[in-house]
Structure 1
């Protein structure tokens, strides 16, 4: 007797249960199953997918930063015991890097193999290409030099495509367009080490959105947009201060 096909509603229920239980690997598995069975995702389904990978990778990125800092601190100590400890810490860092690399490559593969091919023009395409830029950016954060350059270029290409599409298809106040602008600016600051380009992109997005704010949008959209604008403004203040310090130090 062939196995019964799980309905879309059942996949979604199981995905929501996994989210509530903070079982993010299970959540990924449910959304993958849904994609393989039914194709394109709804807005709710792709938001669940985004939540799953964000939680998985945020935890690993945080762990990597802690272990990387410990390794650098221990490396500064000249004793023989420190060398042994550095070796042990490095081993743990490499394990975390592998898990993080696997997670990032997993969502990029899902995007390339399934989701981008079925994405409709407009918000859906921007959403998926933004994700692609994000996860290549995460890979670029900790990769070795040659790989870092490759991941950086792949992230830039995805962000550029998404941003060009967003400028043509979405309103300046659209949360997906603003979220993309924020993450693209972070890319320029963190990966390309260019606070100038980060500020230029971020300020342009911020000014355009503020000029277009009105009461015609739904309360939820307005809340989402205002939250991203606040994050963008906070980053612009920090990046502008960095640029001023650089000028003074020169």
Structure 2
């Protein structure tokens, strides 16, 4: 699709903007450097901040330490406290909160996919005793997932979205809302799945409306939104045509303005464009295989593990978690 992209998506893996929460984040500096820099900044101007600002700075620094120590549950706690102080989060605070939740939910989504895969294998062997035990354990993981997702959604609805002033923030938070409703839809069934899917679609649509007026086609947040929204269509709504159309449109629009892409966002934007291209390659090759009557069963159309999961999530690529910067 674009000559400056090389390589092919890993077989059977679609990519969605949440594929790999902590492991794969577009960053410009190591976490350790970020923490050290944050400490230096804290000692310089923190006393000049109002009380709420000093509290936020302290909690944010603790969140950085938690990230370095990979204690993401605590990282979530600190960033929730920052969010509830009121006012719009800085880009750095926003990214820290996103990274924290993506790691907390990401480990559980990965666990869910693994257990679901084992459950399917045991069912195919007719091992009723094992299947019963596995179902109970899967249910435990789903309860944890639901709790995390509802927690994020509450923070978004009560603090983050109401306080979002810039177009960039609005897109970021509505996209985030769509993502976590999508995660709920991945393992839900019946009316709960339908409700989660409807809420996810509404959030993604709200984000898209703002993105198209406030963000350029090459903006990494707009591209990440298109990536995850297309995965939602493919994995949750089972609509490959709409998924491919959305992904291709976003990719083509970005390509048309690539020359004007700022150096600051070049790396992040081109990374997400690569993921869009990988998904398109995967989805269209999957459709071709199905049309020929071959390989359809192996196509990650329901990778539903990470974006819309059914037991194989990484079938599609999700947008990587943002890097927290100073």
Place the TM-score, normalised by the shorter chain, in its bin.
over 0.9
| Correspondent of 2:226 among 181, 190, 211 | 181
Q: How does 1:191-210 map to 2 (within 5 A)?
A: 191-210=236-255
| Correspondent of 2:149 among 101, 104, 111 | 104
Match of 2:170 in 1: 125
How far does the alpha carbon of each residue in 1:23-81 deviate from its partner, in whole angstroms, 9 at most, with x for none?
A: 11111111111122343211100101110111111110110011111111111223xxx
Relative distance call for 1:246 and 1:239 in structure 2 (3 A) is same
Match of 1:87 in 2: 132
The alignment of Structure 1 onto Structure 2 pairs a total of residues equal to: 243
Q: What SS is found at the alignment partner of 1:7?
A: helix
Please tell me whether residue 160 in structure 1 is matched to residue 215 in structure 2: no
Q: How does 1:27-42 map to 2 (within 5 A)?
A: 27-42=75-90
How much has 1:145 moved relative to structure 2?
1.9
Whether the 8 Å CA contact 1:196–1:243 is kept in 2: the answer is no
| Correspondent of 2:110 among 31, 56, 62 | 62
Q: Distance in 2 between matches of 1:76 and 1:28?
A: 39
Higher helix fraction: Structure 1 or Structure 2? 1
Whether the 8 Å CA contact 2:86–2:159 is kept in 1: the answer is no
Q: Distance in 2 between matches of 1:173 and 1:76?
A: 46
Whether the 8 Å CA contact 2:233–2:239 is kept in 1: the answer is yes
Q: What SS is found at the alignment partner of 1:214?
A: helix
Match of 2:26 in 1: none
Match of 1:230 in 2: 274
Q: Distance in 2 between matches of 1:183 and 1:36?
A: 27
Match of 1:220 in 2: 264
Please tell me whether residue 240 in structure 1 is matched to residue 240 in structure 2: no
Higher relative contact order (CA closer than 8 Å, sequence separation 6+): 2
Whether the 8 Å CA contact 1:195–1:242 is kept in 2: the answer is no
Relative distance call for 1:216 and 1:227 in structure 2 (3 A) is closer
Q: Distance in 2 between matches of 1:130 and 1:63?
A: 24
Unaligned runs of 5+ in 2: 1-50, 295-326
How much has 1:245 moved relative to structure 2?
2.3
Whether the 8 Å CA contact 1:67–1:93 is kept in 2: the answer is yes
Match of 2:64 in 1: 16
Q: Distance in 1 between matches of 2:166 and 2:270?
A: 25
**RMSD of aligned alpha carbons:** 1.6
Relative distance call for 1:85 and 1:200 in structure 2 (3 A) is same
TM-score by length of 2: 0.72
Whether the 8 Å CA contact 2:88–2:165 is kept in 1: the answer is no
